[in-house]
């Protein structure tokens, strides 16, 4: 299986967020308890997106947060109880020049050059700029299970702000994972190969949300493979300790971590690239 199709891989940061510590290192505490009792914030963490060059086109992993989520949060986020949860859990910032379009321009790949995008899950800081992709005509891959949250009866209760994501121009491509004959991927229930060459493969990694997924990037030569995991972890050093966020289904998240560990055993040197890891760019190399 050839994996020579991958070229440059770049980590871009679309602003920063501060979170509650249990967002990162959970203990199985009920989410609403720590959401409304915590008095501490983390240090500002980047909102990472990843730009991948493939011989068949440029692929964007996640889209980052929309400027309005930082500039006018009271108008951007829902009101009532759900809005209070957002206000207690996250504090977003986005300085001039950190928008998705601007960051892509700085990387030399403007929006209209993207071939595909894929989002790990539909939370606002990962899918917040799909409207910009709609304007550029870029298809957006999302797992079928995650798309079901978007089109279901109560997306807000799953942290999905459907009012910004159901833009008529977004070319959503719900992804169905199929069994793979690749022994490297044996720990996973299925896979989706973007270009049929094994270089970029989507994998189901649920738990943080029902349909969270990751992307395995296999590069040629002596470059380490990468696993882009969204929020399956915020800190790769927590994986071996079995520490998961206190957001989502804890049992499913722990099962996902076990699958990631199994993948790493098959792929020595695998680097896990998390959506808010300040060291992500160093790990990509």
List the CATH number of the domain containing 116.
3.60.15.10
The first and second tokens of residue 236, run together, are 């790769």
Give domain status of residue 216, yes or no. Answer: yes
Q: Tell me whether strands 114-118 and 140-143 are parallel, antiparallel or unpaired.
A: parallel
3-state secondary structure (DSSP) of residue 129: coil
The domain containing residue 23 runs over which residues? 6-284
pLDDT at 3: 52
* Strands 213-217 vs 45-54: parallel, antiparallel or unpaired: unpaired
Q: How far is CA 12 from CA 4, 95, 103, 108, 128, in A?
A: 23, 14, 7, 12, 15
- Is residue 91 a part of any domain in this protein? yes
Q: Which residue has the tokens 């998961």?
A: 244
Q: Alpha-carbon distance 47 to 205, whole Å?
A: 19
Q: How many domains does the chain have?
A: 1
pLDDT tens-digit series, residues 107-133:
999 999 999 999 999 999 999 999 999
The overall average pLDDT reported for the chain is: 95
pLDDT digits (tens, 9 = 90+) for 173-226: 999 999 999 999 999 999 999 999 999 999 999 999 999 999 999 998 889 999
The whole-model pTM stands at 0.96
Q: Residue 217 has which token pair? A: 């990037």
pLDDT at 283 over 90: yes
Q: Are 156 and 76 in contact (CB under 8 A)?
A: no
Q: Percent of the chain having pLDDT more than 90?
A: 94
Domain presence at residue 1: no
């Amino acid at each position: 299986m050839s994996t020579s199709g991958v070229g440059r891989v770049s980590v871009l940061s679309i602003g920063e967020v501060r979170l509650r510590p249990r967002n990162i290192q959970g203990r199985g505490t009920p989410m609403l308890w720590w959401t409304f009792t915590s008095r501490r914030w983390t240090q500002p963490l980047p909102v990472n997106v990843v730009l991948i060059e493939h011989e068949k086109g440029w692929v964007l992993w996640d889209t980052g947060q929309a400027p309005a989520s930082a500039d006018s949060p009271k108008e951007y986020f829902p009101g009532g109880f759900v809005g209070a949860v957002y206000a207690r859990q996250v504090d977003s910032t986005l300085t001039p020049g950190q928008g998705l379009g601007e960051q892509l321009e700085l990387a030399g790949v403007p929006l209209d050059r993207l071939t595909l995008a894929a989002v790990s899950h539909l939370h606002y800081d990962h899918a917040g700029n799909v409207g910009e992709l709609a304007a550029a005509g870029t298809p957006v891959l999302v797992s079928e299970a995650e798309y079901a949250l978007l089109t279901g009866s109560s997306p807000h209760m799953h942290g999905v702000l459907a009012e910004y994501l159901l833009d008529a121009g977004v070319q959503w491509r719900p992804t169905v994972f199929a069994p793979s004959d690749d022994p490297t991927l044996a720990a996973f229930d299925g896979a989706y190969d973007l270009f049929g060459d094994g270089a970029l493969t989507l994998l189901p990694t649920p738990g943080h949300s029902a349909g969270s997924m990751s992307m395995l990037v296999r590069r040629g030569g002596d470059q380490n493979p990468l696993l882009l995991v969204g929020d399956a972890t915020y800190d790769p050093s927590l994986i071996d300790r079995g520490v998961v966020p206190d957001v989502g289904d804890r049992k499913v998240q722990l099962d996902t971590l076990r699958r990631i560990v199994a993948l790493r055993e098959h792929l020595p040197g695998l680097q896990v690239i998390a959506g808010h890891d300040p060291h992500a760019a160093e790990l990509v190399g």
